[in-house]
Structure 1
Amino acid sequence: MEKGQKLFYLLGWGAFAAICKLCFFAVLCKMVFFVMFLNNFPNLICFANDVLNSGFLRGLPLNVGLKLRYIYNYDSEVNIVKEKKRNPNPTIKDVARLANVGIATVSRVLNNSEKVSEKTKEKVLEIIEELGYSPNINARTLSSKNINSLSFVTPDMGNEFYGIMYSLLEKKISRNNYRLIVFPLIDQISLEKIKQNTDLIYQTDGVFISSLSVSSIFQNRIPPKKIILIDSYDERFDSVYVDNYQVGKTAAQYLINNSPANSTFYLVTFKELNNEFTSFVFKKRDEGFLEVMEEHNKKVNVIYSDLLWDGGYKAIGTLIKRRPRKYSSIFATCDMIGVGVKKYLEEMNMYPKKDYSLIAVDNLPISRLFQLTTIRQPISEMVEIAYEMFVSSMEGREKAEHYKLEAKIVERET
């Protein structure tokens, strides 16, 4: 074989061998890279998930990182664990729990309320987006029998306290395509009519009852499943309320702390008869007030009034016939009574802090007008929570929930 041919073959085999070595090296590199990839896969997942959660790739679904975790179930020092399957029907309670806030706070975020900080709002909205929660309960799997109406049973719409409660509740539910049917229990006749026609209440999707006993309304009939009590408590049903016994104690302590030692103490309250209308709201306030007064060896003059401003006017007038020599310390168990009391004292030329101290309960708009020191009833918060309890019950919650809210003193002129 000629030298030229030998050189050609040698070069050919050399090139072939070099190519084989390169291919082998490439395959080896791929295998090493693959092993390294497997060893670092959890960290890659964390990186991908962090990038997604940071908002850098907002166009992609937020749960991509979670889906990667399903592919590679790994538990290591970086705490990558298999995620639970996401609830297909998250509730507002789930959102509140994960965001570590109350149900009312979530509701305020959904309604774009200014009472929530931007940080909290951002946190709640992120949880809502991740869970896929829909606040529109009409889009939920509701029964075809629902007629998008709710009942509101209240003692007296003429009382400003219940009027405000109705207004807030009606505004709240109308935003969610519901209408509110009011059942005012003005007297015994109206109560008997409702007892005879409770089917009207049963035909709505839920019943809000304010300051009344459930048993007195339904008596021998089984109450509707979705009952929410506002300003009263029953362990069988959802309820949001203020501890009225503590309200009375707070009022007593305030008067003791802000009155001279020789003061004469008065309790002007509404006498609740032990009948169907009894809610024990005023009774609890009276008991708390009198207990503290007894502990401090203070004698209390008790007088009963109607739930109207002129009721307080007439009631205090029967006790204070003329300008008293001693300082008067007065607890009116609601603002409407308190306004009447203050009106009478003004006509007697008595001045707050000089001749008397007066504290009431509710913090209605009229109390601001008369500069009445009062204990605030959180009506707005009670309505918010009551509605959200209705929402969660429609979403399947069965166990009754109870929310006790704090009542605080709003100090004004008296």
Structure 2
Amino acid sequence: MTTIKDIAREAKVGTTTVSRVINNSPKVSPKTRSRVEEAMKKLNFYPNEYARVLKSKKSNTIAVSVPSIWHPFFSEFVYHIEKELQVKNYRLLISSNNLDAHAELEFLDMIRQNKVDGIIALTYHNIDNYLSANIPFVSIDRYFKEKVAYVTSDNYHGGEIAAEELIKRGCQHLGYVSAIAPQKNDTLKRKDGFIDYAKAHNKNVATYERYEPILDYDHFFDSFFLENPNVDGLLVMNDQTALILLSYLDKKGVSVPEDLQIVGYDGFSYFEGYETTLTSIKQPIKEMAESSLKLLYGLIEGNEIGEPIILPVTFKDGKTTKPLE
């Protein structure tokens, strides 16, 4: 078995230098680090990671829990998290629990037993018991009974913007549809901002909400439009649901935006640099990822939990609303 002494001999350095390279110490020059890493590669040496973690009390590993990696907003968020972690030489553990509370709790149990430096969670489950596990924790869009660090976007103002833009484009009968999580979270403020702005401008809002998961979206939309056939401007809780709605409306022969104008919420990209053609309220996903990591790094260093970070949203004009005259 190859040892640190063998690596030191091959690289012509001391064993202390090899240990510093393994533990990512800044005290090693780039040239020496490269020589040691070449020796490790040549001798097929892999450090005992578990022993290193026990010794340093730091794993350089961050865990991220999201409801579903299939959801474009969550996958884009994780993408930016991973890019930022690579800069800091951190590794990433991901749980995509598919809205399965048991799966998420199992993941949290696992990372509590196997040391990670911190957790970022987009969660809608009851995980309050895990917030006192002495692991630095940052929440996205969700507040708890216990004070936690969290990052969100200005959901209330996003709702206001959606109502304003629909009214400016001539909508008289507004609607709001949403599949909602059982736990209270900041995204619910989208409806509040939408309704408040509409009422201030003498417009009523037809609302339709059902708890997740929605197993039959055709039935979901059938029920809404049966009750509200005159709606001509609609805010949909997120872009993913808005895209499902567009498919539904196409089957029903409803023309968008001529018959019905639609605003989604998230403003995610199909892939890097290419957004959907939906009109949407765009969340700053990259900035949300960066801010959550900044908070988490601070907690890892022992900082106190500060005030929530609330980031601004913007209107993304698309093809599901009419152009302004």
Q: Give TM-score scaled by structure 1 length.
A: 0.56
**1:361 touches 1:375 (CA, 8 Å); kept in 2?**
yes
Provide the residue aligned with 1:391 in structure 2.
Answer: 297
- Structure 2 unaligned segments of length 5 or more: list them: 1-22, 28-52, 321-325
1:299 CA drift (Å):
3.0
1:309 CA drift (Å):
9.9
Percent identity over the alignment is 22
Which residue of 348, 351, 364 maps to 2:268? 364
In the superposition, relative to structure 1, how do residues 177 and 192 fare at CA in structure 2: closer, same or farther (>3 Å)? Answer: closer
Deviations 1:140-184 (A, max 9, x none): 799811111111122222322111111221222133222111233
Could you say what secondary structure the match of 1:270 adopts?
strand
Provide the residue aligned with 2:174 in structure 1.
Answer: 265
Deviations 1:69-107 (A, max 9, x none): xxxxxxxxxxxxxxxxxxxxxxxxxxxxxxxxxxxxxxx
**2:117 touches 2:135 (CA, 8 Å); kept in 1?**
no
1:406 CA drift (Å):
0.4
Computed over aligned residues only, the root mean square deviation of the Cα atoms, in angstroms, reads 3.5
Deviations 1:279-321 (A, max 9, x none): 4234222222222333334333222367799865543233336
**1:194 touches 1:217 (CA, 8 Å); kept in 2?**
no
Equivalent residues in 2 for 1:3-402 (5 A)?
Answer: 139=25, 144-185=56-97, 186-194=99-107, 199-200=112-113, 203-212=115-124, 216-219=126-129, 222-233=132-143, 236-260=147-171, 263-273=172-182, 278-304=183-209, 313-320=218-225, 326=230, 328-366=232-270, 371-402=277-308
Could you say what secondary structure the match of 2:127 adopts?
helix
Provide the residue aligned with 2:313 in structure 1.
Answer: 407
**1:208 touches 1:230 (CA, 8 Å); kept in 2?**
yes
1:327 CA drift (Å):
6.0
- Structure 1 unaligned segments of length 5 or more: list them: 1-136
1:252 CA drift (Å):
1.8
In the superposition, relative to structure 1, how do residues 366 and 267 fare at CA in structure 2: closer, same or farther (>3 Å)? Answer: farther
**Number of residue pairs matched by the alignment:** 268
1:390 CA drift (Å):
2.7
Could you say what secondary structure the match of 1:352 adopts?
coil
In the superposition, relative to structure 1, how do residues 258 and 406 fare at CA in structure 2: closer, same or farther (>3 Å)? Answer: same
Deviations 1:179-231 (A, max 9, x none): 11123333232244356556237x21111122547xx3142762435222233
Provide the residue aligned with 2:6 in structure 1.
Answer: none
Provide the residue aligned with 2:30 in structure 1.
Answer: none
Q: Give TM-score scaled by structure 2 length.
A: 0.69
Choose between structure 1 and 2 for higher RCO, CA contacts under 8 A separated by at least 6 residues: 2
* Amino acid of the structure 1 residue aligned with 2:100: D
In the superposition, relative to structure 1, how do residues 306 and 236 fare at CA in structure 2: closer, same or farther (>3 Å)? Answer: closer
In the superposition, relative to structure 1, how do residues 194 and 396 fare at CA in structure 2: closer, same or farther (>3 Å)? Answer: closer
In the superposition, relative to structure 1, how do residues 232 and 221 fare at CA in structure 2: closer, same or farther (>3 Å)? Answer: closer
More helix by share: 1
**2:143 touches 2:186 (CA, 8 Å); kept in 1?**
no
More strand by share: 2
Deviations 1:324-381 (A, max 9, x none): 5x56111101001111122222333333342121101001225977521000011111
**1:268 touches 1:331 (CA, 8 Å); kept in 2?**
yes
In the superposition, relative to structure 1, how do residues 389 and 306 fare at CA in structure 2: closer, same or farther (>3 Å)? Answer: same
Instruction: Choose 1 or 2 for highest CA Rg.
Output: 1
**1:236 touches 1:400 (CA, 8 Å); kept in 2?**
no
